[in-house]
Amino acid sequence: MEHFKLNVVFMNKNSLIVFLVAVLFFSSCTKREKLPNIIIIFTDDQGYADVGVFGAKDFSTPNIDKLAEEGMRFTNFYVSEAVCSASRASLMTGCYAKRVSIFGALMPWTTYGLNPEEVTVADMLRQKGYTTGMVGKWHLGHDKEFLPLQNGFDEYLGLPYSNDMWSVDCDGKPVGPKSEKPWKAQYPPLILIDGNKNVDTIATLADQATLTTKYTERAIRFIDKNKDRPFFLYFAHSMPHVPLGVSDKYKGKSKQGMYGDVIEEIDWSVGQIVETLKRLKIEDNTLIIYTSDNGPWLNFGNHAGSAYPLREGKGTAFEGGVREPTVMKWPGHIPGGKVCDKMASTIDILPTLAEITGAGIPGKPIDGVSILPLMKGKQDTTPRDEFFYYYNGELRAIRKDKWKLFFPHNSRSYEGMKPGKDGCPGKTKILKVGLELYDLENDPGERNNLASQHPDIVENLSIIAGRMRKKLGDKLTGIKGYEVRPPGRKNTERTKKINHLAIGKKVIFGNSYNQKYTAGGDSALNDGLRGSLDFNDGKWQSYRDEDPDFIIDLGKETDIEEITCSFLNNQRAWIFLPVKVDFMISADGKKFNELKHFEQPAERDYKQYVKEFTFKSGPVKTRYVRVIANSIDSLPQWHPGAGKKAWVFVDEIVIK
C-alpha cells in the first residue's frame, strides 16, 4: 500500500484549508500503520524530586518508575511558567503563555480564558480522527465558552480550576471572619463538571479525598470505550495541590506523611491506566507522557514536595519552579531505560505529536519544536537550545545550552522562611534578583553567580532575549510584543468600536491617570473603544492616587443630547465604582455649569460589571464637557485590602 498525502494546515479552529488528502491503494498485502493512542498525565505542584527515579524519599512510585524503566526519563524538561493556568495554556497550545495572554492562576471570577481561536492539542488530534477526552483540572477559563468541550475535547470530567479555590479554611472548616484569609469566603462553590454541566460540589476535605479515584475510574471508562479507535486522554490530576486529599486506600501508607500518601495514590492511578492498556492489548500502541505543571509549593511544609537539588519552587523562575520530573514510554519507539539530559519543554509536546501523527501544525506562530528525535534516543540532536523563562508577563531569565541568565526582578522566595504545617501555609519573602549568570551543568542549584566572569556570555544572552522581547514583550522593560495574541473574553459585544461626537477631540486632564493601566494614554477616553469585563484588556484607563477629572473640547459649540461615562466594578481586584460623578458643560472652558450629579454608595458587591452613568435631554449647546469622578477614600473594613487605596477604571466618554 502506498500513501500520498499533504498535511492539514490549521488557519484557525473554525477554518481549515485542506490542500490534498489522497490515499491510493496498490496492494492489500500491507496494513496501514495505526495511529498511536496518546495519554498525557499532568500532576499539580509535584516537585522534581517527588518521583522514585528522581530521588523521592519516604514514599515510593513503582508504577511511574516502571514507565521510566521501560521508557525514557527527561532531566531537563521544563514547563513554560511555574504557575497553574499559564503552564496549562502552554501545554495545550505549544506556545509560551505570554504569546496567548494567559497569566498566573485564573480565578473563579476571572472573565477571560483560553481563546477558542487557539488550536489545542485536542483540536489538532481530533482533525486526525482521534477521540479526545479529559479528566481533572482544566484551569483555562471556567465559563462555558472556555471549557474543554469548546476546546477540542469530546468529553470532560473535572474541576474548572484549582482545588483550593473554595470557601474552606486550611483546617477544613468554613472560612469565617477570624480566618487567616477571610476574603476566601467570597469563593463560589467548588463544582465538579461533567461535559458542560455542574454535577457535584466538592465541599469538604472528605470530598477532596475522592478526586484521584473518581478521575481514574472515568479515565479507565474512556479508554475502555475507545479501545478500537485512536484516542487522546489528557489526565490532569488536582493533586498534590493543597488541600491534599487521599482515599482510605493510601491514607497513612507512606513514611513521609500525607503528601507521600497522595503521591503514592497518583502512582496507583498510573498503574491502573497501564493495567487497563495491557488488559485491552493496546499498551504497545500507546504513548504515555508523565509530568507536572510546576514545582512544589514549598511554604506548605509537610504538605509540599521537594525540588532537590534545584533551587526554590512554584511561582519562581528558578529551576525548582519550572524543571519537572518527566517520563515517557512508547514501546517500539522510545528505547527503554534511557535518560535524556537535553533541554525540552511542555511547549514541545504539540509539535511532537503533530510529527508523530502527521497532523498539521497550527497556522499561527507557536514556540514549540518537535523532540521526537530525542524520544527515539538520538542524543546527538538538539531540537531545543534556548528557553525563555517568563512569569506573569515578565521575561525573568533565558537559558542557552548550559548557561542561564537572570534579568533583574523581584521573585517570590521560600528560603529562610518557616514553612507551614498540615495544610496551612507559612510565609514567603520577596527576593531581589539581579543580573545573574549560572552554569546549570555544574551548578543546577543556581548558587554560583558567574556574570562578572563571563561578560561575553551575558551580552550574547541579552541580545537573544532582546529579540524575544520584540516578539512576545516583557513587563519588566515595558515592551509589548508584536506577536502576542489576545485571550478569549466575555462581553466582547461591548468592545466593538463606536462612533460619537467626542472621537478624536482634545482631552484636557485635570488629574493624571495611573501608568499601570493607561489604555493607550491621552486618547483613551475618546477613541471609540470600550472595555470588556477584563480590566487587562487594554481599554480601561486607571486612577488610584488621584480622581478622574477630564474635559473634552469639541472644538466649537455643538448641540448635544447625551453624555455617557462608563466605570468598571471588580471589587476583588480592588476596582470600585466612584461614589460621586458629575457631568458639567461650559461654553468657554472656564466657567462650568453642572448638568447631572450622581451618587453611588460603596457597598459590598463582588459582581463584575460595567456601570454606565448617562445624561439625556433635549439639545444642549456647549463646547466643553467635563467629567469628575470621586473615588472612595480607602478600601472599606470588610474588604481584604482594608485601608489601602482603591482603583477607579474608566473607558470612554461618549457624547451624542
Helices and strands (DSSP H and E) totals, the chain = 11, 31
Phi, psi torsion values for 421, nearest 5 degrees: -150, 145
Q: At what angle do helices 258-279 and 211-225 cross, to 10 degrees?
A: 10
Question: Residue 303 corresponds to which amino acid?
Answer: H
Helices (H), 226-329: 258-279, 319-322
Whole-angstrom CA distances from 528 to 341, 482, 505 are 53, 22, 11
Q: How far apart are CA 466 and CA 460, in angstroms?
A: 10
Nearest to 282 by CA among 238, 330, 248: 330
Residue 273: closest CA among 41, 65, 56: 41
Contact 501, 486 (CB under 8 A): no
Give dist(CA 6, CA 18) in Å, integer: 8
Choosing from 3, 29, 95, 139, the catalytic residue is 139
Angle between helices 62-70 and 258-279 (to 10 degrees): 50
- Tell me if 498 sits within 8 A of 528, measured CB to CB: yes
Annotate 546-570 with three-state secondary structure: CCCEEEEEEEEEEEEEEEEEEEEEE
Cell of 272: 491502573
**How far is the C-alpha of 614 from the C-alpha of 239, rounded, in Å?**
49
- 139 tagged catalytic: yes
**Up-side HSE of residue 395: CA atoms within 13 Å toward CB?**
26
User: Which stretches of 435-514 are DSSP H helices?
Assistant: 455-472
Whole-Å CA distances, 607 to 160, 227, 424, 570, 636: 19, 45, 29, 7, 17
Backbone torsions φ then ψ of 470, nearest 5 degrees: -60, -35
Q: Are 417 and 397 in contact (CB under 8 A)?
A: no
CA atoms of 236 and 498, how far apart (whole Å): 42
CA distance 286 to 275: 12
Residue 340 falls in the annotated catalytic set: no
Contact 133, 156 (CB under 8 A): yes
Residue carrying the nine cell digits 472573565:
111
Please answer whether residues 560 and 525 qualify as being in contact, where contact means their C-beta atoms are separated by less than 8 angstroms.
no
Cα 121 to chain center, whole Å?
A: 16
Q: Which residues are catalytic?
A: 84, 139
